[in-house]
Amino acid sequence: MADLFVTQDEYDDLIEKLILKVADDGYEFDTILCLARGGMRVGDIFSRVHNMPLAVLATSSYREEAGKVQGDLDIAGFITKTGGEIKGKLLLVDDMVDSGKTIVKVIEHLKRAFPAVTEVRVAVLWWKSHSVCKPDYWVDYLEDNPWIHQPFEYYDDFGVERLRERQAQKVR
């Protein structure tokens, strides 16, 4: 199982392909909900293309061993959204379905906390084979479950001082 390294251009292309898959299927959703942090970039582009407000739900489980070990799942108590309530058909977007545990628990949470939601479909860039659930839409199915290195992860554990040094070098 080799790691998968993704460039920014490749990442953007995956998002565009995902948007077209959902559009080609004809799914007309009332709300776009992204899971923070991984789904924020995906959700942002969906929101812009569809000219719809973006709802954000913060979740966190990958905190141990530099974000490579899944721990207990934390789901925020509130969803942030402008332009009305969470209801009707919902498109839940994230970067990937890895173990699938987050998606399953989030859908359970949505059904309990938002009874006006009538349907939830899941759209992701990557679906790993060891997942306990299958998304409705995905771009790449990853049979060998690689660790994915996304282009913005460069900033993980970067720190302000390292960023300051990097910017100072650019000024020279």
3.20.20.140, 3.40.50.2300, 3.40.50.10070, 3.40.50.2020: CATH of 4-171: 3.40.50.2020
Question: Which whole-number Å values give the CA distances from 8 to 18, 70, 172, in the listed order?
Answer: 15, 25, 26
> Contact, 87 vs 116, CB < 8 A?
yes
List pLDDT tens digits, range 17-52: 999 999 999 999 999 999 998 999 999 999 999 999
Q: What is the pTM of this model?
A: 0.89
| Cβ count near 139 (within 10 Å) | 18
Per-residue b or e along 146-162, where b marks 16 or more CB atoms closer than 10 Å to that residue's CB: eebebeeeeeeeeeeee
pLDDT beyond 70 at 67 = no
Domain range summary for the chain, segments of one domain joined by +? 4-171
Q: Which two three-digit tokens encode residue 12?
A: 């953007």
List pLDDT tens digits, range 90-106: 999 999 999 999 999 99
Q: Which two three-digit tokens encode residue 49?
A: 């293309």
